[in-house]
Structure 1
Amino acid sequence: MQNADAIWQFVDAKRDSFIALSDRVWGMPEIAYTEYRSVAEHAAMLNEQGFRVTENVAGIPTAVMGEAGEGGPVIAILGEYDALPGLSQEGGIAEPKPLPGNGYGHGCGHNMLGSAALLAATAVKDYLAANGKPGRVRYYGCPAEEGGAAKAFMVRAGCFEDVDIAITWHPASMTRVDEALSLANTRMDFAFTGRASHAAAQPHLGRSALDAVELMNVGVNYMREHMPSDARIHYALLDAGGIAPNVVQGFAKVRYAIRARDLAGMLALNERVQKVARGAALMTETSVDISIMSAVSNMLGNTPLEEAMHQAMLRLGPVPFDGEDRAFAADIQATLSEDDILNDYRRVGETVKENTPLCDWIVPRESKGEPMIGSTDVADVSWVVPTVQARVATHAIGTPGHSWQITAQGVVPAAHKGMVHAAKIMAATGVDVMSDETLMARAKKDHKERTARTPYVCPIPDEVQPPVQPRPEAA
């Protein structure tokens, strides 16, 4: 399409500035709701590119929105920039080597995710202005995707009420249209309070909160036999009650992540886990305070948008990796197991391609693999706006998610090529939707049909507010 050729030129014209943005964000990794420097970088770029900028979106100081254009439909392009704990890593080397500092690292590629999304939005803005076309494009800089559910809070606050179409992407090992499969997910804290006492002289006077946590864990483990096979439950001990074994622990706290294929299944599972917690408190004569930290829905697909994005991918072709990119990816693959590599092929239903460390093809739409499903707050946007998501190759096939290997690959030339490619796919999809009223109408009809019987209900209770973190002194 002529539109595609034009929009790709607008992406290429500014690619270097946004590659630099991605690398800067990679170098300042910040975890959920602490992304003050990263959001400042994105806000500065929005201002530099001439967007109308709104900060503190939905009352979240690390969320930002930029809008450009007038009239017409509203296309939202979603970006992220949060990092993960424990994944610090030097870039461009194929061995684990954490950098000095707090241990944070971009082990999911969100430095690229936000930068490419903003590049796509900028290209659409420039395209609309150059051609005198009506329409508005918005970049939503969204924090805390990693467990913080910022987009769900933003949806609840009405930030997407007038948006017609939403587009996003995620760094991946394979280039394809996302299958729109994700698990609804709640993160819930269980704080047990008992009674401290001398563990030797007066154990009978103590009531152990740590015992309650352990009994809860045992109860949930027994429950696993009697829940859907595609549901998931994980936990992390936040407070074990101290390091002194001769003190009966008077307080202990555990966080659970509870996932299910859909929102109704997750809510039912939530209730069962809460019953186990209350039973553990009853058995130990402690009390338990239950609080929801965050929650997200399951992803909703949109066939017309997915088909349009796939066509954009085919027009563009695969990411143009070169020999040096493949050589480094092969070095990364040498740190992985055969199962790591095989799993990536199984996920997309493809046979293993020998001596192919990087994805140099577009995964066909008809290829269906074994679903390996996580959770994302993009899902909540998908329930209120027709949404489509790309997966674009930026790292070696087989690289595990949330790994030091992804951090190491986040600033190399292959990553830069992948993120620019993603920007072109998103920008082309956005322009196609803006230029084709029938495509937008079909996307909206598809969305309406999917939500007709099950309207969206925000999974986060009204009383739960975003867990905003204070600005660090150095930020």
Structure 2
Amino acid sequence: MSNSDRIWDLIDEKQQAFLELSDRIWGMPEVAYTEYRSVNEHRDMLAAEGFAITENAAGIPTSVVGEFGSGGPVIAFLGEYDALPGLSQEAGIAEPRPLPGNGNGHGCGHNMLGSAALLAAAAFKKYLEETGVPGTVRYYGCPAEEGGAAKTFMVRAGLFDDVDAAITWHPAAITKVDEAKSLANTRIDFTFTGRASHAAAAPHLGRSALDAVELMNVGVNYLREHVPSDSRIHYAILDGGGIAPNVVQAHAKTRYAVRSRDVHAMQELNGRVIKVANGAAMMTETEVAVKIHSAVSNLIGNTPLENLMFDNMQRLGPVPFDAADHAYAGQIQATLSAADIDSEYRRCGVEQRDGLSLCDFIAPLDAVGEPMVGSTDVGDVSWVVPTVQARVATHAIGTPGHSWQITAQGKAPAAHKGLVHAAKIMAGTAIDLLTRPETLAAAKADLDARVAKTPYVSPMPAEVTPPVEPRKPD
């Protein structure tokens, strides 16, 4: 029996408890920095599996790290469990039907993401126990990937300083090794302060903070013409200054997301957006306070690790979906447009397969898709540790990310099959790294070469702390 066969058998033996964990997390959707129940579930599973546990990692109460072993390489599995607001949805149906409650939902599949990563870590731990091979396994329970940049804080705190390789995955429509392309992203809050007055009787005495927000938006709209085509700038008004139009608004607040292909270009663009804000304040005779809310770097690829992961995908084959899985996925596809489905194939760089509801293939390693224009805090880990990420099919082809359809499919049998498959891909990759020190050395050399000219500098200013949300009564 090969090393991979044994680790895959261990995953099969352990899978049921982790499928149940995924479903429980699906049923308690908690958004960034509020994942108190979810982290407790992961902590309890780590304890049941015999890991040494560190809570409150990097000063974040909804993070947890589990560790086992000694010596050898330190292999990290990265998990997530945060949900999204506004994506509550009943499971197992093909029409929008929000559940009663807080309105949150696992519309990005992080209930599966964390459970599969923890399953891979638990199987790897069992392998170390059985074989006595020197090595250390860590599971990083990471909150707040959705806009909260928890991994950036964890990297800045030194939690990855002694890690030799990091492995993770993400639920997807098509199984492939991630291309390691993402946008660096800063979220910046601009708080304008003016002077209130009666808008009719004494408008000349007022200084409108809301005017400043609107002028900033106009300025940034003009700026968009003069930025690289792969940069993105978006905003949301967090505070419009009140609901009375006859009062000049003395306060207003807007949050901007500034994205660029790499972290250094992002920092430059941040400076230009801040200049626009200062100009808006000057025009309105208001004051502006600038505060970075979160920041993440772009992903750095790693060729040796990507080759290794692809080998594991090929040995395993596609996710073993059955006819019932395809039937439900077909119902979901009926809620999508042809453009949704076409876009999925374009992003993955593979030819469209008409009538296919679930992925029954593995995308070639050299497939080049349309650029990924999202962001992830896995990027910061990838700058300091050789990192690789799988995309594994768990839902119907064409399903948009951050949608009610993702939430609806989050507990389906197809999702469970994809979760187990992802755990096998990650664990198999880890075992290969454990037994092939030359590949691990090549992965480290690959990272060193990529960052030699532009070493990692955290995009998170030293004074910015995690925006922890206090636990609310259950």
TM-score range, shorter-chain basis? over 0.9
TM-score by length of 1: 0.99
Query: Whole-Å Cα distance in 2 between the matches of residues 65 and 251 of structure 1?
Result: 41
Partner of 1:261: 261
Mapping 1:122-161, distance limit 5 Å: 122-161=122-161
Mapping 1:6-155, distance limit 5 Å: 6-155=6-155
How far the C-alpha of 1:349 sits from its partner, in A, is 1.3
3-state SS of paired residue (2:210): helix
Mapped pair 1:326 → 2:326: yes
Partner of 1:230: 230
Mapped pair 1:193 → 2:193: yes
Query: Whole-Å Cα distance in 1 between the matches of residues 296 and 351 of structure 2?
Result: 33
Partner of 1:352: 352
Letter in 1 for 2:133: K
Partner of 1:308: 308
Letter in 2 for 1:461: P
Partner of 1:424: 424
Letter in 2 for 1:277: A
How far the C-alpha of 1:198 sits from its partner, in A, is 1.1
3-state SS of paired residue (1:198): coil
Letter in 2 for 1:62: T
Mapping 1:278-317, distance limit 5 Å: 278-317=278-317
Query: Whole-Å Cα distance in 1 between the matches of residues 345 and 467 of structure 2?
Result: 37
Partner of 1:203: 203
TM-score by length of 2: 0.99
Partner of 1:408: 408
Letter in 2 for 1:73: P
Mapped pair 1:375 → 2:375: yes
Letter in 1 for 2:422: A
Provide the aligned C-alpha RMSD in A.
Answer: 0.7
Letter in 2 for 1:408: A
How far the C-alpha of 1:367 sits from its partner, in A, is 1.3
3-state SS of paired residue (1:248): coil
Query: Whole-Å Cα distance in 1 between the matches of residues 431 and 13 of structure 2?
Result: 17
Query: Whole-Å Cα distance in 2 between the matches of residues 166 and 87 of structure 1?
Result: 30
Deviations along 1:167-200, whole A, 9 cap, x unmatched?
A: 0000001100000001010000000011111111
Partner of 1:248: 248
Partner of 1:181: 181
3-state SS of paired residue (1:247): coil
Query: Whole-Å Cα distance in 1 between the matches of residues 419 and 238 of structure 2?
Result: 36
Letter in 2 for 1:354: D
Q: Is there any run of 5+ residues in structure 1 with no aligned partner, and where?
A: none
How far the C-alpha of 1:354 sits from its partner, in A, is 1.1
How far the C-alpha of 1:471 sits from its partner, in A, is 1.1
Letter in 1 for 2:70: E
3-state SS of paired residue (1:325): helix
Query: Whole-Å Cα distance in 1 between the matches of residues 312 and 242 of structure 2?
Result: 56
Query: Whole-Å Cα distance in 2 between the matches of residues 135 and 26 of structure 1?
Result: 32
Deviations along 1:364-395, whole A, 9 cap, x unmatched?
A: 01211211321000000001100000000001
Identity %: 71
Deviations along 1:77-131, whole A, 9 cap, x unmatched?
A: 0000000011111111100011111110000000000000000000000011111
Partner of 1:462: 462
Partner of 1:471: 471
Query: Whole-Å Cα distance in 2 between the matches of residues 115 and 139 of structure 1?
Result: 11
Query: Whole-Å Cα distance in 2 between the matches of residues 233 and 81 of structure 1?
Result: 27
Letter in 2 for 1:438: E
3-state SS of paired residue (1:210): helix
Deviations along 1:317-358, whole A, 9 cap, x unmatched?
A: 000001111011111111111110000000111111011110
Letter in 1 for 2:261: R
Letter in 2 for 1:284: T
3-state SS of paired residue (2:321): coil
Query: Whole-Å Cα distance in 2 between the matches of residues 64 and 359 of structure 1?
Result: 33
Deviations along 1:141-185, whole A, 9 cap, x unmatched?
A: 000000000000000000001100000000001100000001010
How far the C-alpha of 1:201 sits from its partner, in A, is 1.2
Q: Is there any run of 5+ residues in structure 2 with no aligned partner, and where?
A: none
